[in-house]
Amino acid sequence: MALSATGRGSAVSRIRVIGPVGLDRFAENVADTLRRLGHVVTQLGPARAQGRGRLADRAAGLARQAVPRLDEHAQNRIVRAAIEADCEIVINVDSYLMPSAMTWLKNGGAPVAFWFPRCRVEPRRAAVHAARSLRRDLL
């Protein structure tokens, strides 16, 4: 049973959140909400380091495309931190987390949940679907 915002309940979970942090980022909001519910939350940061500058980020992106093991190696820090912290669950909101990192987390005993907000492209796709449905209904 999880602890509610009113303080009812008996269990407090140790939760780790993977995703970019910063003002009003999704991972930050998830972690803040879980803390308000009384859980112990640690943010593990993004699956990919960013913010070194546009040129450096592009060069790193090209290197990761050429050698996917670079991402796997870089994500070892996330896996180690989650396993060493003896967390009860890991919530990933970062689409760049490698499948191998997820496997390592699961093998380390931490259940992994993926939680992604709707993509910004989704409204267009929904509009196309609605237009097709309307056309089909009118014909």
Which stretches within the chain are classed as H helix? 26-36, 54-66, 69-74, 76-84, 99-107, 122-138
| Of 51-65, 107-121, 124-138, minimum mean pLDDT range | 124-138
39 touches 46 (CB < 8 A):
no
pTM for this predicted structure: 0.70
Fold of 14-138: Rossmann fold (3.40.50)
99, 33, 26, 69 alpha-carbon torsion, rounded to 10°: -20
Residue 112 pLDDT exceeds 60:
yes
Per-residue pLDDT reduced to its tens digit, 47-81 = 877 667 778 777 877 777 777 788 788 888 888 88
